[in-house]
Amino acid sequence: MRVFKFGGASVKDAAGIKNVYDVLQKVGYEDVLLVVSAMGKTTNALEEVIKNYFEKSEELNASVQEVKKYHNQILLDLFEDEKNEVFAGVNKLFSELEYFLAHNKSPNYNFVYDQIVSYGELISTTILSHFMNFMGIKTQWLDVRNFIKTNSNYRDAEVDWELTQKNIAKNVKKKMLNITQGFLGSDENNFTTTLGREGSDYTAGIFAYCLNAESVTIWKDVPGVMNADPRYFENASLLNHISYREAIEMAFYGATVIHPKTLQPLQKKEIPLYVKSFINPMLAGTCVSKGSDSEWQIPSFIVKRNQLLISLSSIDFSFIMEENISEIFALFHQFKLKVNLIQNSAISFSVCVEDKFGNFKDLNPILAKKFKVDFDENVTLYTIRHFNEKAAQTVEQNKTVLLKQVSRETMQIVTKEN
């Protein structure tokens, strides 16, 4: 069996849904499992619903209606007859969502988040499955929550691999087109959980591992994995083949083409991962598989913007030792600051972090009780794998370098625009 993953950009409108059908016609669809994300920016729209729900906003109903309107237009563009059963199927899902909003008693934000945001994937796969059937491709729609079982760590759930393996091995039919949702699972009480933002790639990896799949293909709007983001670098090159190790390194440093958790289950069973274009599906794309890294030693650039550079120094000029560092990291964990770079000397300690929850303003006064705190906001972290002097000059040009760190294969540079 082959596993295909289509993200939100590939199914953002009726034309996208029709294109998925065209891709399957070209590359084959028998013995395939499709993992599909929410359509377009639906997850963001549902996050707005959640915000309005908790703030008891008068805009709650309007924000739900916006999501309905968006999907209804796609339905009308795909199906001429409004009596088609897909309309009833989608309406049923929206009724479930509205029922939850009216009757939920839990104040737990993360729990509520997972119950609401999951409808994006449930609706998109319902529409896609019905359209494939309408076009003559028989499908089996699978509710992924019956397959991927997790703990109750809402918004970042951990997979129960043993139970998940049993569910998938027993219930996924082969020799046909299966369609299921990315990003979702369920806990022992059958409440919906999510695997972390952008977790649909991971879902594909989980199914591939449990099915001993032939391959996984992630279909994107780019020709494959590039050595740099074309938005920030001219003359970005396609990487035709990279090893699992290299792909994991790139994902760790922030490359967004492949979700970091996706590669580990694939590597265990040496299942190749392809990143291909849904615009030009017959192009070779990038293959991630077992192999030597010596083949692709060209510099690769990874960019993380909107970072925060924090420098801590001891007030009394004493050494910053393991005990201090341990305490600092415990606070970073508590305040959900993701550390992307560390550099320390005898009396100072610098970190480049991601503060996506805006918690540094609360952490700063706590740190200031023990350390002198300096920080720079909105800095950019560049990571160069297989760097050379020319690559470093490309990054540093017309920028102020605040911090640089070099290891055998990787250079990281924190910069501020001049």
Which residue numbers belong to the known binding site for substrate? 43, 121
Task: Please give the annotated binding residues for ATP, written as ranges.
Answer: 5-8, 231
Exposure letters 185-205 (e unless 16+ CB within 10 A, then b)? bbbeeebbbbbeebbbbbbbb
The span from the CA of 241 to the CA of 218, in Å, is: 15
Partners of residue 287 on adjacent β-strands? 241, 274
Residue among 141, 151, 145 at smallest CA distance from 185? 145
Q: b vs e for 149-165, b when ≥16 Cβ sit within 10 Å of the residue's Cβ? A: bbebebbebebbeeebb
The answer to whether 356 touches 271, Cβ cutoff 8 Å, is: no
User: CA torsion sign, 161 to 167 to 169 to 173?
Assistant: negative
- Single-letter amino acid code for the residue at 347: I
Q: Which residues contact 223 (CB under 8 A, 6 or more apart)?
A: 238, 276, 277, 280, 283, 285
State how far the Cα of 93 lies from the Cα of 71, in Å rounded to an integer: 12
Annotated binding site: 5-8, 43, 121, 231
H-only helix segments in 79-199: 85-103, 109-117, 119-134, 161-171
Residue from 346, 340, 351 nearest 374 by CA? 351
Two structure tokens written together for 196: 């972390």
